[in-house]
């Protein structure tokens, strides 16, 4: 019972409280942070880098940096802000190295979308059974993924942090290091680009009603 109580309190504890516990020497608190953030962090890195192996490497490095620099975290900002800032910087480094090496993984990353892993249609949460609807759904989602990939880097990262990681604009501004109004402008431009890419789909029309 005591173990369950401890687990329950850990699962309810804020990131900052877990970080304080980790800084005090409780390694299990770090494990809870990993459990909580690894999936959204992976999604963010994957969408930014368009590569599963790269995203996994970046997420792993990000948490290692959290451990190494745990003493430097002064609670002046939220833990998620810090974690995403680390991850974003690692992604930027990865892209730079990739460009320098002229790595072919950019082409491979496109294959990751519908390659060895489950297809988008299989992995989506709505679970539509109708074939036509499923096909249309896959098509719009592929178009969406392409449209997101085609966004300028600064708009894409803001879009992903807002839509995938669900971070507020104020926090995104801290992560990317620009004013909050700039973040909102970038987000609006990103949405307008996506709107142009998706507006001829029936789903969009239905969503308008």
Residue 165 contacts another protein per CB under 8 A: no
Report the C-alpha gap between 101 and 103 in whole angstroms: 5
Of the pair 92, 201, the CB lying nearest another protein is at: 201
Cα–Cα distances in angstroms (integers) from residue 67 to residues 14, 19, 41, 89, 129, in the given order: 18, 10, 16, 16, 44
Residue 6 contacts another protein per CB under 8 A: no
Of the pair 103, 142, the CB lying nearest another protein is at: 142
Residue 123 contacts another protein per CB under 8 A: yes
Of residues 78, 88, 94, 156, which one binds another protein by CB under 8 A? Answer: 78
Number of residues that bind another protein (CB under 8 A): 72
Cα–Cα distances in angstroms (integers) from residue 134 to residues 30, 114, 138, 154, 205, in the given order: 40, 15, 6, 32, 17
The residue written with tokens 């974690």 in the block is 83
Of the pair 55, 88, the CB lying nearest another protein is at: 55
Tell me the window of 88-96, 100-108, 127-135, 155-163 that interacts with another protein (CB under 8 A): 155-163
Using alpha carbons, select from 116, 122, 115 the residue that is nearest to residue 141.
122
Tell me the window of 88-96, 100-108, 127-135, 192-200 that interacts with another protein (CB under 8 A): 192-200
* Residues between 29 and 68 with contacts to another protein, criterion CB under 8 A: 30-31, 34-35, 38-39, 42-43, 46-47, 52, 56, 59-60, 63-64, 66-68
Residue 176 contacts another protein per CB under 8 A: no
The residue written with tokens 């059974």 in the block is 129
The dihedral formed by the CA atoms of 166, 172, 176 and 179, expressed in degrees to the nearest 10: 150
The dihedral formed by the CA atoms of 107, 108, 113 and 115, expressed in degrees to the nearest 10: 130
Tell me the window of 8-16, 92-100, 102-110, 128-136 that interacts with another protein (CB under 8 A): 8-16
């Amino acid at each position: 019972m005591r173990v369950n109580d401890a687990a329950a309190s850990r699962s309810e504890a804020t990131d900052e409280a877990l970080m304080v516990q980790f800084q005090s020497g409780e390694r299990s608190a770090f494990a809870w942070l990993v459990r909580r953030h690894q999936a959204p962090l992976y999604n963010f890195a994957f969408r930014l880098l368009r590569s599963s192996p790269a995203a996994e490497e970046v997420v792993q490095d990000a948490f290692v940096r959290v451990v190494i620099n745990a003493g430097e975290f002064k609670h002046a900002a939220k833990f998620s802000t810090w974690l995403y800032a680390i991850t974003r910087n690692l992604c930027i480094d990865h892209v730079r190295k990739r460009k320098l090496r002229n790595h072919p993984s950019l082409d491979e990353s496109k294959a990751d979308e519908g390659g060895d892993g489950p297809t988008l249609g299989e992995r989506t949460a709505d679970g539509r059974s109708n074939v036509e609807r499923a096909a249309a759904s896959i098509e719009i989602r592929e178009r969406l993924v392409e449209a997101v990939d085609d966004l300028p880097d600064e708009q894409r990262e803001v879009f992903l942090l807002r839509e995938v990681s669900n971070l507020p604009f104020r926090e995104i501004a801290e992560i990317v290091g620009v004013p909050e109004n700039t973040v909102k402008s970038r987000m609006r431009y990103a949405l307008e680009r996506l709107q142009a890419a998706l507006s001829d789909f029936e789903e969009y029309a239905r969503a308008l009603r």
